[in-house]
Structure 1
Amino acid sequence: MAQILAPTSQWQMRITKSSIPSSPMTGKMWSSLVLKQNKKGAVKSSKFKVFASKYEDYTINRVEGLLNLDLTPYTDKIIAEYIWIGGSGIDVRSKSRTISKPVEHPSELPKWNYDGSSTGQAPGEDSEVILYPQAIFKDPFRGGNNILVICDAYTPQGEPIPTNKRHKAAQVFSNQKVIDEVPWYGIEQEYTLLQSNVKWPLGWPVGGYPGPQGPYYCGAGADKSFGRDISDAHYKACLYAGINISGTNGEVMPGQWEFQVGPSVGIEAGDHIWAARYILERITEQAGVVLTLDPKPIMGDWNGAGCHTNYSTKSMREEGGFEIIKKAILNLSLRHTEHISAYGEGNERRLTGKHETASINQFSWGVANRGASIRVGRDTEKQGKGYLEDRRPASNMDPYTVTALLAETTILWEPTLEAEALAAQKLALNV
C-alpha cells in the first residue's frame, strides 16, 4: 500500500536550487569529471552514486518544469485535447492538436479524424472516423488557455457510428416538448480504485478481505479511507475545468468512491460526466492506480457500483408536481425492460435485491426506499413536488443514453390506456 499511495516520482523528486548544477550536465562535463576522479585514484562509489542521483533528480525536475510551463506570455496558440468514447462504449480515448488561438465555443474548432480500426470502431480498409467537437472544458493538466474537447464520432459520410450515443440524445433534447420541460439531472457516479499490480481494491490486503462493510462509508482514517487524495485531486480538477461537480464521498465498499455532477440541463449532463470520467482516468494514471467502473467489481457481501440518476422536469418542480412524478414512474414501470437493457453491462451482478438495490427483474418504487428501482425523497412527498431518483443505472452506464431515455419515457412516450391501467394496478400493490 505504501508504494501505491506514494506520490509519483515527479512529485517526490523536488530538490533545492543549491543542490543542483546551474545548467544541465553534458557529456563533456561527465567525461571531465571521470578523468579528474581517475587521476586522484579510485572513486568512492557512494559519492558518485549520490552525484548521479542528484543529476537524475534535476533532469526530472526540469521535465516537470516544462510540463507546468505557462505558454500564455509567449504564444497565442493553445493545445486542444480531443476526447472521444472508444469501441467498448466505456473507454475514453484522446489526442492533442495545436489551435492557432484561444476559443470560446466548440463551433470554432475544426473537425478531426482518427484510426477507428485501432479502437474497434471501423474496419482496417476504411478506418477513418471523424470527430465533431461538441463541448469545451478548461484543461486542468496543461493549464493556461488549453482545453479539453468532448467530441462525438461520425463516418466520413456524416453518419453517427454505433458507439456515438450523443447523437440520438441530442435529437431527444432538441425536441420542443423536452426543451419546454427543462429536464434537470443530478448523476451520482460511483467508481472503484484498484491496485495496479494485482487488480484488487485499494486498501484491501492482497488476496484477502478487509473487515465487513459499515465503517467505510464517508469514513475517515487510515483503516477506513483508501484513495482520498485521488478523490480530492479529481474534485479540484473538475472545478477548475468548469465541470458542474457538486460533491464527493467515500462509498460503502472500501476503495470505492463517488462524485456527483449536477444539476445539469439536458445533454450537458452527459458531456460533464464524460469529461469528469476522463479527468479521473488521467489522475489515476498519474497516481499508478487503476480505475474501474465495473458495477460489481468484487462478488460477495459487498456493495456494487451504480450511477444513480436524479431527474426532474419543470412540471415536477411546480405545484402539483408529485402527481406528474407518479405518472412518470408509471411510464418507467412499463418500459422497465428497455431501460435495464440500456443501463450498463454486467448490471445483473449488481441488481440482486440486496446491498441497497432492487431486483433487476421487478420494477418497484417507494418513498425513501433505497431498495426500490425508483426512490422518491421524503421532502418531495412532503412538499408535493420535486424529483425522482432512478437507482437502476450501473456505474458503467452511458450518461447520454440514460438521460435521453428518461426524458423520452416520461415526456414524449405515451402508453396505451389498457397498459396504463394495468401498470397502475401493479404499482399500487407494490406500494
Structure 2
Amino acid sequence: MASRPSSRSVHNWATVGKKKAVTIFSALLGGHIGRRGSVPTESALWDGLESTPTGGTVQERTPEEVLKLVKDEGCEFVDFRFSDLPGIMQHVTIPASVLGESHFTEGHGFDGSSVRGFQQIQESDMVLIADPNTVYMDPFMKHKTAVIHCFVADPVTHESYSRDPRYVATKAEAYLKTTGIADTAFFGPEAEFFVFDDVRFDTQPNGSFYMVDSIEGQWNSGTDEGPNLGYKPRTKQGYFPVPPMDHYQDMRSDMTLALEGVGIPVELHHHEVASGGQNEIGIRFNTLLAMADQLMTFKYVLKNVAWQAGKSLTFMPKPIFQDNGSGMHCHMSLWNSGEPLFYSDTGYGGLSDIARWYIGGILHHAASVIAFTNPTTNSFKRLVPGYEAPVNLVYSQRNRSASVRIPLAGQSPKSKRIEFRCPDSTSNPYLGFAAMLMAGLDGIQNRIEPPAPVDKDLYDLPPEELALVPQVPASLEQALDALEQDNAFLKAGGVFTDDLIETWIEYKRKNEVDAIRLRPHPYEFTMYYDI
C-alpha cells in the first residue's frame, strides 16, 4: 500500500517520491476502464462481493512509471489538480516535457494566498506534490493532457499543509487504522444534479435576480416553443420516466461513457424526482480518499459533458423553488482484514453493534458534521420538510424519511451499510467524508447508542410527536455554531486541526452567512415594498 501521512506527525514529501502507491483510478489512461454492466438496484453497488471491495482495478505505480506513461501516451501537457478549502477543483498546467521526478518530491510552486481558504499574502509560497496514484487522461482538452491530483505542502519544510483537504482525508484513513476498529472505510455517494438550458443571475447594489430555464421544466408547458411538444415532468413527478419525458437519457449515457473513460465505474443513471432537469448517475463505492478524488473528477466530467452539449449543469442543492432539491446521500461501511463489520443476523435491520454505535456517533454529532456535509446557505433550503429531505435525526430500516437509513435491498453481510441522507454535493468530499468517519468512530469508541429506530413515516407525524424528534440545523449559521462547540471528535489523531476548523468557520461566516444576511432579497420587495 502507499505510504500515507501519519495521523500523529507531519509528512515529509521529499522522502517518499520513489515509493509505489495504490492507483486510485482504474488501470490505464484514455480508454474505457473497468467498465461494468448497468445494475438495476442500489444494492448491487455493495452486494455479491467475495472479498474486500476495491471500487475499481488496483495497480501500483512509481513516479518513474508515470513519466514513462506520459511519454508513451504522447501527452503534450500535464495538469496538476487540487482542492481549495471550500471544495472547488483548481489546476495549473505544464508542458509534458517539463514533468520530472522532482514534481513528485519537491513539488510545483504556486501562490497560496490566491486560493480560497489558504495562506495570507506574507506567507503565500506553497507547492503541489504530484500523487502518482491518480493519473488519468483528460477527455476534454484539445491537446492530449494527463491529469494528476496533488497534495499541498510547505516549500521549505516539505511538511503537509494542514488546510489541504486531501491531506485531511489521508489522515482520517490513517487514524481509522490506529483505532484497531477497522482498516478500511467505504463511501458510496449518490450525487444528484440539475441540467439547465439557460441560467442567468446578477447582484448589484440596487438589484439582484436569478433565472434558470429547462426545456423540460413544467413552467414551460404553455410556452410557445415553435412548436411545444409537451412531455414536461410535473412538479415532484420526474422519477424514472422513459423518453421522451426523460429528456436527458442520451446525455447521461454520454456522461457514463466519459466517466468510465477516466476509470470511474458507473452502476446506473436515471432521471430524478424534480422537473426542470434533475438527474442522478450512480458510481461504485470506494475507499475514502479514492472516492473523494473520484467525486471531484465526477463533477468535472459531468459539467464538461453538459457544457459541450450546450447545457449548464449544477450541483446546487436547491436551484428551483417548490420542487425537490439535489442531495448526495452517502452510503458507508467499515471493513477489517477483508471482513465486513456492519452485519449481524440478530441486530435491528441486520446491523452489528459496531454499525449501531457508528450511527449513534453520526446522529450525536450531526449538527457539527453538517457544517461540512451541507456547507452552504443554499443547503438549508433543501433541508426543509415536504420535499423528501432528511430533516429528522433518527435512523430506520428502509425508511427514507429518516436521516440515517439502513438499506434492506441485498441482505448479504458484505452489502450491509448505512446511508446518511443529509449531505449534498456542495460538500468538499475530502472534509465531508472525513467528518462523517470521525463522528462514526467516536460513536464506536464511546458506544454511543442512537435513539430508538423509527419505522413510521416521519413526514406524517402529528405535531406533538414531531416536536420530540431531533432536527437538523435550520441554517448554515446554526451548523457553524454547533461545529464551534462540538469538534473534539474531529481532532482525534490530529485529523482535523484547530486552525482548519477555525478557518472554516470564519470563512463560511464572513463570505457566505454574512454575505447573504447583508443583501436585500428580491422576495422582500414582494412582501414589504408597499408597507
Same fold (TM over 0.5): yes
| Higher alpha-carbon Rg | 1
Q: Structure 1 residues 375 and 429 mapped into 2: Cα distance closer, same or farther (>3 Å)?
A: closer
Tell me the secondary structure at the aligned position of residue 308 of structure 2: helix
- Shift in CA distance, 99/364, structure 1 to aligned 2, threshold 3 Å: same
What's the C-alpha RMSD, in Å, of the aligned pairs? 3.6
Amino acid at match of 1:137: Y
Matched residue, 2:279: 257
Question: Residue 138 in 1 paired to residue 140 in 2?
Answer: no
Please name the residue that 2:214 is paired with: 202
**Could you list the per-position Cα deviations for residues 202-235 of structure 1 after superposition, in whole angstroms to 9, with x for gaps in the alignment?**
325697576523542222324x223444322221
Give the residue type in structure 2 aligned to 1:170: T
- Number of residues paired by the alignment? 350
Q: Report the secondary structure of 1:313's partner residue.
A: strand
Equivalent position amino acid for 2:152 in 1: A
Aligned to 2:188: 186
Q: TM-score, normalised by structure 1?
A: 0.70
| Correspondence list, 1:23-422, <5 A | 78-86=76-84, 89-100=86-97, 111-120=107-116, 121-124=118-121, 126-134=123-131, 135-142=134-141, 146-157=145-156, 158=158, 164-175=164-175, 176-177=177-178, 180-198=182-200, 199-204=211-216, 212-213=234-235, 215-222=237-244, 224-254=245-275, 255-300=277-322, 302-314=323-335, 315-316=340-341, 319-320=344-345, 322-323=351-352, 324-344=354-374, 345=376, 346-359=378-391, 362-379=392-409, 386-411=416-441, 414=444, 416=446, 420=448
> What amino acid does structure 1 have at the position aligned with 2:362?
L
Q: Which whole-Å CA distance do the structure 2 matches of 1:268 and 1:215 have between them? A: 34
Question: How far is the alpha carbon of 1:376 from its aligned partner?
Answer: 0.7
Q: What's the offset of the Cα at 1:115? A: 3.7
C-alpha change, 1:106 and 1:283, in structure 2 (3 Å) is farther
**C-alpha distance 413-215 of structure 1, shift in aligned 2 (>3 A):** closer
- TM-superposed CA distance for 1:106, in Å, is 11
Q: 1:184 to 1:203 in 2, by over 3 A?
A: same
Q: Percent identity?
A: 18
1:193 maps to a residue whose letter is V
Contact 2:103 2:130 in 1 (8 A): yes
1:233–1:129 Cα change, 3 Å: farther
Question: What CA deviation, in whole Å up to 9, does each residue of 1:69-115 have, x standing for no partner?
Answer: xxx9998554212222246x233232321234999x99858722334
Would you tell me which structure has more helix in proportion to its own residues? 1
- Determine the C-alpha separation between the residues in 1 that align with 2:304 and 2:113: 23
TM-score, L = length of structure 2: 0.58
Q: Give unpaired runs (5+ residues) of structure 2.
A: 1-69, 201-210, 222-231, 457-531
Deviation at 1:125, TM superposition (A): 5.4
Structure 1: gaps spanning 5 or more residues: 1-71
Cα distance in 2 for residues equivalent to 1:311 and 1:328: 10
